[in-house]
A and B are shown apart, each in its own frame.
Chain A
Amino acid sequence: MREISVREAIRDAMAEEMRRDESVFLMGEEVAEYEGAYKVSQGLLQEFGPERVVDTPITEAGFAGVGVGAAMMGLRPIVEFMTWNFAMQAVDQIVNSAAKTRYMSGGRVSLPVVFRGPNGAASQVAAQHSQDYGAWYAHVPGLKVVAPFDAADAKGLLTAAIRDPDPVVFLEHELLYGDTGQVPDGEHVAELGRARIVRPGRDVTLVSWSRGVSAILAAAETLADQDIEAEVIDLRTLRPLDRVTVLGSVQRTHRIVCVEEGWPSCGIGAEVIATVSAEAFDALDAPPRRVSGAEVPMPYAAHLEALALPDVETVVRVAREACYVDV
């Protein structure tokens, strides 16, 4: 094991897969000479050259389509969006081309492409640069959607995504890039579609993914001081959703709180709670709860932005309510 940042973990996953498989290449805005707008692709141009680390013009729809077309021919493109906000320009290629072509072709065309970049709220960059797209892409059959929290998962899940034969939407988080964690030495491949119980507990299940996991881990610490043992689940993959792990946890704790940065309407939390309500209704001792981003375009001012995002205090309060401690 060694301690590296999420940023380095993502870079290492790409570099190792590019060494292993000639058909893997990286394309996107500023990925080569600038080494990534968030310095994620440091050193890749130097090692692999401009044919495999390709700077694109600012043309998201176009280069997303180029990536999908290259995948049709059996290459394994990693298409970087500088942020997922800009991928709105390319959503047609991600949904209509990448996600649907295997089905439309009766299984004749494979599209092993990874779309990746930072997703969710950064720091005071306001509405057009702060949005969580997890629910948008998790809605689409044909896509797999991955959102890692720590460095080990960033490496293991990205490696799995690059090797996967289907299109994968890989949602990183700018505010996690600098976080460090222990990553296994050598090849490290995690399994897509598996959630992870980060902290076991018996009283209430807390579910989140990506940066939300730091909030529920902190909430679990606070709750432990108050004699409430929360079970913390990192979903890791939003599609396919690991319903088995979530339902199993609720069977033990009988209570669930789902925490997401994004808007609640038709969100991942809504899907998790619908699943629990339908399939573990009899196990529930309290209504399932959500803590989410506020339903507003993200404001700029720091104090307003903080109000629009889920915080640890709210998670603690809602978890206590779910446990009927404060009622």
Chain B
Amino acid sequence: MAASKRLEEGARELSPLASLAARSAAAYEPMPNGHEQVDLGLPPGELLDIHRRMLLLRRLEERIGQLYAMGEIGGFCHLYIGQEAVAVGMERATRSDDPVITAYRCHAHMVVRGVAPELVIGELLGKADGVSGGKGGSMHMFDPARNFYGGHGIVGAQVPLGTGIAFALKYRKTDRVCVTYFGDGAISQGQVAEAFNMAALWKLPIVYVVENNQYGMGTAVDRASAVSDLHKRGESFGIPGQEVDGMDPVVVERAGLTALEHARSGRGPMLLEMKTYRYRGHSMSDPALYRTREEVQKVREERDPISRVADLLVNAGVVDADQLKAVDREIRAMVMEAVTAAQAMPDADPAELMTDIYSAGS
């Protein structure tokens, strides 16, 4: 329960991402002469904001990976490295009152919702002030105050849950939309098809986002799905699907806006297939022997979402390489601060072992 107090205190401040965005806008200066005209797709300040947000997720997950390797984090730990464009692009398309739910690769989705990185790290370290008080760990984190509903460990089970959230939004006659994430592995779960059917039948306000990172654990999509175009998996329910370059945050945002508008206007669910890639193994214990180093390297070199935006910003003369390095240093320092703050949190209290099983007083 200590964590909830801490969260509420945090909510009164600007989230780190919101303050980053404010600084991004301030950092923007008019394009110097001599640079080619580049279509950024967005105002330069917004692109800087996207770059910073993605970089924060990258540096945070890298640091979490190090802490895991050092034995400070236990259990299963699934990193988001490589997929940052999806979480950042979709978050920009999503209203802050739109509920979001995902599976166990959830750290990034929490942080883009505005949860302080130290609360996520604290949870991974089993601390009392971790976002779930040390009871949930990497795969089970929730913050309803920021409309984030987990953090679920059973592949695909969050899809009916997200559909139920959308049911509640419609029941309450709101104009909010639930964004429900899952992986390419989850799409073959029976529960997912069941949820698709009900969402389409009842025209629920929901956007399904399949983060197709090409591998369900160690199994490539074309070895697991009879139809490897996953955006077509809603067709038999009449759910429109769209393939999206999930390595381009601007493209993700545009697709997200369209899909959210579709769902918000009462036309029912949409399915977005984000073609993305994870650079690390499925979890920290996975050496990823089912693919070649060259395959990973090629994606890193040619499609990396952060490099892509950075190159765009430099080529357009919005910033130079030194300025980007300064941003990186700032973000690394911010992550280190979050780690230090999390490490200083008290361990989860043994007296809390048997609390939160039922509601207090019941």
A residues at B contact (CB < 8 Å) = 25, 51, 56-57, 59, 61-75, 77, 92-93, 96-97, 101-110, 141-142, 144, 164-166
Contacts and interface: CB of A to CB of B under 8 A. Distances in A.
Contacts of B195: 62, 65-66
Contacts of A104: 132, 135-136, 140, 142, 150-151
A106 B362 contact: no
Given A65-B159, A92-B154, A106 B136 contact: yes
B147 to A, nearest CB: 10
A70 B197 contact: no
A65 B359 contact: no
Interface string B318-360: 0000000000000000000000000000000000000111111
A57 B197 contact: yes
20 contacts: A59-B194, A61-B160, A66-B160, A66-B161, A69-B167, A70-B168, A70-B171, A72-B144, A72-B164, A72-B168, A92-B154, A93-B160, A96-B153, A96-B157, A105-B132, A105-B150, A105-B356, A106-B132, A109-B150, A166-B358
Contacts of B141: 105
A74 B168 contact: yes
B161 A107 contact: no
Contact of A59 (B152, B153, B197): B197
B198 A105 contact: no
A61 B190 contact: yes
A106 B145 CA distance: 14
Given A97-B154, A109-B144, 19 more contacts: A51-B171, A66-B198, A69-B168, A72-B149, A72-B168, A75-B167, A75-B172, A103-B135, A106-B132, A106-B133, A106-B142, A106-B356, A108-B4, A108-B142, A108-B144, A109-B149, A141-B357, A164-B362, A165-B359
B160 A106 contact: no
B162 A69 contact: yes
Given A69-B163, A105-B142, A62 B194 contact: yes
A9 B360 CA distance: 29
Nearest to A64: B160
Contacts of B360: 107
Contacts of A166: 358-359, 362
Given A101-B150, A102-B357, A105-B140, A65 B169 contact: no
A107 B359 CA distance: 8
A70 B194 contact: no
B3 interface: yes
B270 interface: no
Interface string B186-200: 000011001101100
B99 interface: yes
B201 interface: yes
Minimum-distance CB pairs A-B, first 4 = A69-B164, A65-B160, A62-B194, A106-B133
Contacts of B359: 102, 110, 165-166
B356 A102 contact: yes
A223 B169 CA distance: 57
Interface in B218-259: none
B88 interface: no
Interface residues of B, number: 51
A67 B130 CA distance: 28
Contact of A142 (B157, B171, B357): B357
Contacts of A62: 160, 163, 191, 194-195, 197-198
A108 B165 CA distance: 16
Contact of B163 (A51, A66, A102, A141): A66
B124 interface: no
A67 B164 contact: yes
A301 B194 CA distance: 36
A75 B358 contact: no
B164 A102 contact: no
A56 B169 CA distance: 18
A73 to B, nearest CB: 4
B296 interface: no
A305 B1 CA distance: 51
Contacts of A93: 157, 160-161, 191
A283 B90 CA distance: 65
B239 to A, nearest CB: 14
A109 B163 contact: no
Nearest to B133: A106
B61 to A, nearest CB: 21
B143 interface: yes
Contacts of A106: 1, 3-4, 130-136, 142, 356
Nearest to B131: A106
A121 B306 CA distance: 61
A72 B160 contact: no
Interface string B118-135: 000000000000111111
Nearest to A61: B191
Taking each of A102, A108, A142, A166, which has the highest tally of chain B beta carbons within 10 Å of its own beta carbon?
A108
A97 B136 contact: no
Contacts of B150: 101, 104-105, 109
Contacts of B169: 73
Contacts of A67: 164
Contacts of B4: 106-108
B135 A70 contact: no
B198 A56 contact: yes
B161 A73 contact: no
B228 to A, nearest CB: 24
Nearest to A71: B164
Contacts of A92: 154, 157, 191
